[in-house]
C-alpha cells in the first residue's frame, strides 16, 4: 500500500471515530443511513415526535414497495404492488416462486408500514423480504408497526444537506444566479423539512458561517414569508 493510500485509510478511521462521538442517537443514525442508502425510512423513523403502534394487518391490504430492480420488475411492474396479483403469479410460474423462495426472508419480526394513498391500504417502509416470505408461506396476516400521527410532522433534514448547498454556492456559484438558486433551494428545504429553520439559526449562523453573502441569503429564507 502506497503512502497516500495509508493516509486515506487512517483519515477514514479518524473521521469514523469523530462521527461516532457526534452522532450517538439511534434515530439520528437512521436518518444518516437512510440518506446513504437513498430510501425514505429516515423520514419516518428519524422524527421522535412520530409515534408507532404494533398491529396485526391482513396481508392483502399491504402494497409492495420498491426494493431492487430485479424484484421491482416483478412486484411493481408486473404485479403493480398487489399481493393478490403476486399470489396468482407464483402459482402459475414455478420459476418465479422458486426465485423468491431463495431470496425472501421468513423471519417473524414485525414489518414497518405507512398508510397508503388509497383508503385501508398500507405501504411497506421496511420488511419487504419478510412480507414476501409471509406471502410464500400463505399467511393471511402479518404483524406491523404503523405510525399514528405521521401526517402531523415533517421529516428531519441532515445538516450536511444544507452545508452541501452553501458550500456549492461559496466555491462555484457566488454570483447573482447562484444567490437566487441557493435561496430557492434553502426555501424548499425549509418548507419540506421540520428542522431546517432551526438549523439555519443555530448551526449556520454567523459564528459558524462567517460569510456575509451567505448570511444575507439565510436571513431572507428565514424572514421572507
pLDDT of residue 120: 79
DSSP 110-132: PEEEEE-SSTT-EEEEE-HHHHH
CA–CA–CA angle 16, 19, 20 (5° rounding): 90
For residues 178-197, one letter each, b for 16 or more C-beta atoms within 10 angstroms of the residue's C-beta and e for the rest, the string is: bbebbbebbbebbeebebbb
Looking up residue 142, the CATH number of its domain turns out to be 3.90.1530
Evaluate if residue 117 carries a pLDDT over 90.
no
pLDDT digits (tens, 9 = 90+) for 134-180: 999 999 999 999 998 988 999 999 999 999 999 999 999 999 999 99
Evaluate if residue 225 carries a pLDDT over 80.
no
Q: Is the domain of 122 the same as that of 95?
A: yes
Q: Is the domain of 164 the same as that of 181?
A: yes
Highest mean pLDDT of the ranges 21-30, 35-44, 192-201: 192-201
Last residue of a domain, one of 126, 151, 176: 151
Q: Is the domain of 22 the same as that of 56?
A: no
Q: Is the domain of 61 the same as that of 147?
A: yes
Q: Is the domain of 63 the same as that of 145?
A: yes
Residue 43 falls inside a structural domain: no
The strand pair at 141-147 and 52-58 is best described as: antiparallel
Q: Is the domain of 24 the same as that of 67?
A: no
* Average pLDDT of the segment spanning 68-91: 97
The strand pair at 122-126 and 62-63 is best described as: parallel
Q: Is the domain of 139 the same as that of 60?
A: yes
Cell 425549509 belongs to which residue?
Answer: 190
- Rounded to the nearest integer, the mean pLDDT of the chain is 95
* Average pLDDT of the segment spanning 4-25: 94
Q: Is the domain of 96 the same as that of 138?
A: yes
Which domain does 138 fall in, by range?
52-151
CA torsion through residues 51, 54, 55, 61, sign? positive
Q: Is the domain of 61 the same as that of 131?
A: yes
Residue 134 falls inside a structural domain: yes
Q: Is the domain of 65 the same as that of 99?
A: yes
CA distances to 2, 40, 81, 200 from 76, in Å: 47, 17, 5, 39
3-state helix, strand, coil in the chain (%, to 5): 60, 10, 30
Amino acid at each position: 500500500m502506497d503512502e497516500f493510500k495509508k493516509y486515506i485509510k487512517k483519515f477514514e478511521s479518524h473521521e469514523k471515530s469523530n462521527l461516532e462521538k457526534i452522532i450517538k442517537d439511534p434515530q439520528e443514525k437512521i436518518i444518516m443511513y437512510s440518506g446513504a442508502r437513498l430510501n425514505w425510512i429516515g423520514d419516518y423513523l428519524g422524527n421522535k415526535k412520530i409515534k408507532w403502534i404494533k398491529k396485526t394487518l391482513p396481508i392483502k391490504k399491504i402494497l409492495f414497495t420498491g426494493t431492487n430492480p430485479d424484484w421491482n420488475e416483478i412486484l411493481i411492474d408486473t404485479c403493480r404492488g398487489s399481493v393478490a396479483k403476486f399470489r396468482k403469479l407464483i402459482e402459475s410460474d414455478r420459476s418465479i416462486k422458486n426465485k423468491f423462495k431463495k431470496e425472501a426472508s421468513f423471519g417473524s419480526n414485525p414489518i414497518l408500514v405507512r398508510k397508503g394513498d388509497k383508503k385501508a391500504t398500507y405501504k411497506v417502509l421496511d420488511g419487504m423480504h419478510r412480507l414476501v416470505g409471509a406471502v410464500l408461506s400463505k399467511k393471511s396476516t402479518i404483524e406491523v408497526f404503523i405510525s399514528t400521527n405521521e401526517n402531523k410532522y415533517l421529516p428531519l433534514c441532515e445538516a450536511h444537506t444544507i452545508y452541501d448547498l452553501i458550500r456549492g454556492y461559496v466555491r462555484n456559484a457566488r454570483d447573482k444566479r447562484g444567490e437566487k438558486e441557493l435561496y430557492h433551494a434553502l426555501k424548499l428545504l425549509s418548507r419540506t423539512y421540520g428542522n431546517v429553520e432551526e438549523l439555519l439559526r443555530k448551526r449556520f449562523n454567523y459564528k459558524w458561517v462567517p460569510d456575509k453573502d451567505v448570511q444575507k441569503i439565510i436571513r431572507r429564507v428565514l424572514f421572507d414569508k
